Amino acid sequence: MDRILENRCAIITGASRGLGAEIARKYLEAGASLMICARNEADLDESLAALKRLAGGGQSVLALPADISKSSDVTALVGEALREFGRLDILVNNAGVAGPIGGIDSVDWQEWLRTIEVNLLGAVLLCRAVLPHLRQAGRGKIVQLSGGGATRPLPYLSAYAASKAAVIRFVETLAEETRLQRIDVNALAPGPLDTRMLDEFIAAGPEKIGSEFHERSVRCKREGGIPLRHGADLAVFLGSSLSDGITGKLISAPWDNWRALPAHLDELNRTDIYSLRRIVPGDRGLGWGDTE
């Protein structure tokens, strides 16, 4: 996938560390110019310096501290990117938080709300800000990071799980709203990663986060987790012309054969493959679920 983002301009949120920083690095390698953001200015400056050392001729790397849950910060971020680049091609919504850990009746309510503000409302705010420019251009890519909470219950991580499930349905809905404008909107599941969020899960302890999830987190830490490059490579693919026409899907970086998807575009568009759907008894070979 060498240089498949040549002359493309992208905004990548939460790019100061972890998967966001790896996505930014891969986007640079693929030829894109970048506007990155994060809340922590010191971490952001460090990431910016590292990325600038990798940038080639004709590539720009910009950074702006931003809280994506604040509309004023989002407006400033998108406006600065447009002023510097003159265009926008790709939005990578990577920023997210784990949120409060514990039972829903015991966690801090403001922390619970804050998680929804960042993981869901922040993603929606950014999409609202970039969509007029992508519509005017008649093309564009939006890549939304998802997580394990989107597809199965996560006891004691209710805010995280609820926000991630909600953002997938938003992706599916937005994809239908923008299909005719050739704006592809997809969600990316990177798999269990060895990042600072994993450290938060482990530090919470089995009493607070549950023994099963804690054991799984400790094992992930010990084994190193899914390499960041898998999620970053998929983010490059979804931001490139290779994925044109693939939209409204939740795609797993480590488990799905995403490189083969362009060959199955018709099947993807006429089925609910890689989407969130209700399972009925008939889907499991049972006949007692239908009304007579």
Cα 188 to Cα 170: distance, rounded to the nearest angstrom: 13
**Residues paired with residue 10 on neighbouring β-strands, in sequence order:** 34, 90
Q: Name the helix (H) or strand (E) containing 252.
A: strand 250-252
Considering all CA atoms of the chain, what is the largest pairwise distance in Å, rounded to the nearest integer? 68
Overall size of the chain counted in residues: 292
Q: Is 156 annotated as catalytic?
A: no
Cα 13 to Cα 11: distance, rounded to the nearest angstrom: 7
Q: How far is CA 173 from CA 43, 110, 166, 178, 179, in A?
A: 34, 28, 11, 9, 10
Catalytic: which of 27, 156, 160, 274? 160
Cα 193 to Cα 203: distance, rounded to the nearest angstrom: 16
139 phi, psi to nearest 5 deg: -175, 165
Active-site residues, by number, are 160
